[in-house]
């Protein structure tokens, strides 16, 4: 058998990114100096909190656009990475919404719209101690809005490429019982051949509150049918993909003990008549988490949890694959009575049926007050290979049932400060190391498989600034410096630009209920091949968002992206959209 090599084996002399031009450097530096203060306040230097009012002020229609305002976070409609790592655990009301049938944790953000979110918490580089595996990049917690007496909203818009979308939510509460229902649909022809898609979603929640028990039942469903256009050099005009995911959860809380139970079932099917391809994979996941606060002890405040996971996968190439895991975690937080010092440490032990057992520690030291904090942290997390990576077989990929886990060690030094009412700053320096990285490896025959291959390091800086000189005008910016390298080859990782920036310049009229946001995005040059022989050039993108509040319950909005209509490629090599626009309205009722 031929020796396995990394996909697109590196050239003898690796190409290196070119330096930014003097003009680009000057504009970049000017924008950084001009835009000062973090967009979102945080309870500590390592947690970013985005509440409902801040989401509403952004005037965005996608969760990805909310997340992209945060430094170090890079999000798409169904994907997210933090500090270079796509191993991000995303939970909605306590249950994971990562698609278990995907290769690298596709996110079903469409389970909820920005209008229905109460808050988003982002834990960069940490959270695996409490929330489990596949959180090497971090954890994102999304909490939906609570019900009122009778309230809800309807949002609808249309746009270029025959795009239409409509969403509606109704919430009702009577006494201790609250009920919520939501539904939505989206359809677009896309901006290239075979880029059309159609999505539908439903969501329901029933909550009850007694004297000793709080309970919540959550149900969600998502359906998608779309074309797969392929890369420009390898088009696939007939490829189609169908996805379905059903998610349910029961959350109970009584006497300081919390129980979170979820059941997810997802199915993905791919067809392509040109390649005689007709495959599917179905994964069912069941999970239980029990957590409790043990209260204060001489050594500090102690919390503990235990639980388990069970999964089963069936696919066109295999059936009946099952596995399970059991875990236990313990955390202790000690606060000094004399100094503004807080120390938190913990450990998570996991026993797997398919992998070696793991013991992952986490440690954090925080110094400072509520407004000014300095935090030093270290977290170790485990990223497990998916059923898809281990057992699914295609014309270009063989299964590897012996594929093992990745280990991610994340180190960070974070600073959060607010020197004035109009100014604040969040800064983080980080070093993340991934060992036994799960990588697609290609053999000389042209057919490869996933292997635990080598080490990768992510080193960088996150900076979040905002400045509001007066109530009408504000500037918000998020900047990330990332050096993502393969330690074995010395080559840059695909789709990891060294510099990224997202800046919003907002003006709110004093006379009219009108807001106007001018958006500037920048990404430096990034490689599109693992051998570093092809690169996507640096790019500046400009956009405009506006909102007019006609009355308390009626708002009109519009958005224009890629204002200069430039043509460019995403870091992965696929074609990015040209100039696009949407316009619509939102109706709130109560």
Residues 123 and 138 sit within 8 Å (Cβ to Cβ): yes
Instruction: Summarize the confidence of residues 404-422 as an average pLDDT.
Output: 88
pLDDT tier at 45, thresholds 50, 70, 90: low
Q: Give the CA distances from residue 103 to residues 107, 322, 389, in Å, rounded to whole numbers and listed in that order.
A: 11, 17, 6
Q: Give the CA distances from residue 163 to residues 299, 540, 556, in Å, rounded to whole numbers and listed in that order.
A: 58, 25, 17
- Which residue in 215, 224, 270, 278 sits closest to 246, CA to CA? 224
Instruction: Summarize the confidence of residues 471-480 as an average pLDDT.
Output: 92
**Does pLDDT of 178 surpass 70?**
yes
Supply the pLDDT for residue 44.
58
- Is residue 15 situated within a structural domain? no
Question: With pLDDT > 70 as the criterion, what percentage of the chain qualifies?
Answer: 90
Q: Give the CA distances from residue 222 to residues 93, 168, 219, 227, in Å, rounded to whole numbers and listed in that order.
A: 16, 15, 11, 17
Residue with tokens 């996805």: 243
Supply the pLDDT for residue 572.
76
**Does pLDDT of 66 surpass 90?**
yes
- Is residue 572 situated within a structural domain? yes
**Residues in CB range of 426: below 8 A, 6 or more apart:** 38, 42, 45, 48, 71, 414, 415, 416, 462, 463, 464
Which of the two residues, 10 and 382, has the higher pLDDT score? 382
Supply the pLDDT for residue 299.
76
Residue with tokens 């204002």: 563
Q: Residue 512 burial by CB count (10 A; 0-12/13-18/19+): exposed, middle or buried?
A: exposed
Instruction: Summarize the confidence of residues 27-45 as an average pLDDT.
Output: 39
- Is residue 9 situated within a structural domain? no
Most confident of 23-27, 104-108, 330-334, 572-576: 330-334
Supply the pLDDT for residue 538.
94
Supply the pLDDT for residue 449.
86
- Is residue 5 situated within a structural domain? no
Count up the domains in the chain and report the number.
1
Residue ranges making up the domain that contains 141: 38-158+181-187+201-589
Q: Residue 500 burial by CB count (10 A; 0-12/13-18/19+): exposed, middle or buried?
A: buried
- Is residue 89 situated within a structural domain? yes
**Does pLDDT of 534 surpass 90?**
no
Mode of pairing for the β-strands spanning 5-6 and 438-442: antiparallel
Token pair of 557 as six digits: 């909005």
Supply the pLDDT for residue 36.
31
Supply the pLDDT for residue 223.
97
Report DSSP letters for 48-94, one per residue: EEEEHHHHHHHT-SSHHHHHTTSTTEEE-SS-EEETTB--EEEEETT
Supply the pLDDT for residue 335.
87
Which of the two residues, 357 and 300, has the higher pLDDT score? 357
**Cα–Cα distance for residue pair 99/246, rounded to 1 Å:** 10
- Is residue 1 situated within a structural domain? no
**What's the CATH number where 351 sits?**
2.40.170.20
- Phi, psi for 55 (deg, rounded to 5): -65, -40
Share the mean pLDDT of the chain. 87
Give 331-352 pLDDT, tens digit per residue.
999 988 888 899 999 999 999 9
Instruction: Summarize the confidence of residues 479-494 as an average pLDDT.
Output: 92
Q: Residue 356 burial by CB count (10 A; 0-12/13-18/19+): exposed, middle or buried?
A: exposed
- The pTM of the full predicted model, rounded to 2 decimals, is 0.88
**Does pLDDT of 392 surpass 50?**
yes
- Is residue 278 situated within a structural domain? yes
Most confident of 12-26, 187-201, 412-426, 459-473: 187-201
- Is residue 21 situated within a structural domain? no
**Does pLDDT of 76 surpass 60?**
yes
Supply the pLDDT for residue 494.
87
Q: Give the CA distances from residue 343 to residues 42, 266, 299, 381, 411, in Å, rounded to whole numbers and listed in that order.
A: 18, 40, 11, 20, 16
**Cα–Cα distance for residue pair 524/382, rounded to 1 Å:** 30
Supply the pLDDT for residue 363.
95
């Amino acid at each position: 058998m031929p020796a396995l090599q990394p996909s697109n084996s590196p050239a003898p002399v690796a190409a290196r990114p070119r330096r930014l031009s003097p003009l680009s450097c000057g504009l970049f530096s000017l924008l950084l100096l001009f835009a000062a203060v973090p967009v979102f306040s945080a309870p500590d230097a390592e947690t970013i909190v985005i509440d409902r009012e801040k989401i509403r002020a952004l005037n965005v229609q996608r969760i990805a656009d909310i997340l992209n305002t945060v430094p170090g976070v890079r999000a798409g409609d169904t994907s997210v990475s933090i500090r270079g790592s796509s191993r991000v655990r995303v939970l909605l009301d306590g249950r994971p919404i990562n698609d278990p049938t995907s290769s690298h944790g596709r996110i079903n953000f469409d389970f909820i719209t920005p209008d229905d979110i109460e808050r988003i918490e982002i834990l960069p580089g940490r959270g695996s101690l409490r929330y489990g595996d596949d959180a090497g990049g971090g954890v994102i917690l999304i909490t939906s809005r609570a019900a009122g007496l009778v309230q809800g909203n309807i949002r609808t818009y249309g746009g270029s490429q025959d795009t239409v979308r409509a969403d509606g939510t109704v919430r009702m509460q009577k006494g201790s019982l609250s009920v919520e229902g939501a539904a939505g649909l989206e359809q677009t022809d896309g901006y290239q051949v075979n880029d059309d898609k159609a999505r539908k979603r439903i969501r329901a929640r029933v909550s009850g509150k007694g004297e000793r028990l709080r309970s919540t039942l959550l149900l969600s469903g998502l359906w998608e049918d779309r074309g797969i256009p392929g890369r420009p050099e390898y088009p696939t005009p007939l490829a189609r993909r169908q996805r379905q995911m059903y998610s349910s959860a029961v959350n109970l809380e009584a006497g300081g003990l919390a129980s979170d139970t979820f059941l997810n079932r997802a199915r993905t099917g791919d067809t392509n008549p040109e390649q005689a391809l007709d495959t599917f994979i179905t994964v069912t996941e069941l999970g239980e988490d029990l957590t409790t606060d043990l209260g204060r002890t001489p050594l500090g405040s102690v919390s503990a949890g235990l639980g388990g996971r069970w999964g089963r996968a069936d696919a066109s190439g295999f059936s009946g694959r099952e596995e399970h895991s059991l875990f236990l975690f313990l955390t202790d937080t000690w606060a000094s009575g004399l100094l503004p010092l807080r120390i938190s440490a913990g450990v998570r032990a996991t026993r797997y049926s398919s992998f070696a057992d793991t013991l992952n520690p986490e440690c954090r030291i925080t110094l400072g007050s509520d407004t000014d904090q300095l935090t030093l942290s270290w977290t170790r997390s485990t990223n497990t290979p998916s059923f898809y990576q281990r057992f699914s077989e295609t014309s270009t990929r063989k299964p590897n049932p012996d594929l093992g886990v990745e280990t991610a060690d994340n180190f960070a030094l974070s600073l959060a400060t607010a020197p004035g009412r109009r100014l604040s700053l969040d800064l983080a320096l980080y070093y993340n190391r991934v060992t036994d990285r799960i990588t697609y490896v290609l053999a000389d025959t042209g057919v490869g498989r996933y292997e635990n291959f080598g080490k990768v390091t992510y080193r960088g800086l996150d900076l979040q600034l905002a400045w509001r000189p007066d109530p009408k005008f504000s500037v918000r910016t998020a900047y990330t410096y990332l050096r993502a390298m393969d330690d074995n080859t010395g080559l840059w990782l695909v789709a990891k630009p060294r510099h990224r920036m997202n800046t919003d310049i907002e003006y709110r009229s004093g006379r009219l209920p009108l807001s106007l946001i001018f958006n500037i995005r920048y990404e430096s040059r990034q490689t599109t091949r693992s051998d570093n022989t092809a690169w996507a050039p640096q790019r500046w993108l400009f956009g405009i968002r506006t909102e007019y509040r006609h009355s308390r319950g009626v708002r009109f909005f519009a958005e224009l992206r890629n204002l200069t209509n430039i043509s460019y490629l995403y870091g992965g090599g696929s074609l990015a959209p040209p100039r696009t626009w949407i316009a619509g309205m939102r109706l709130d009722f109560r």
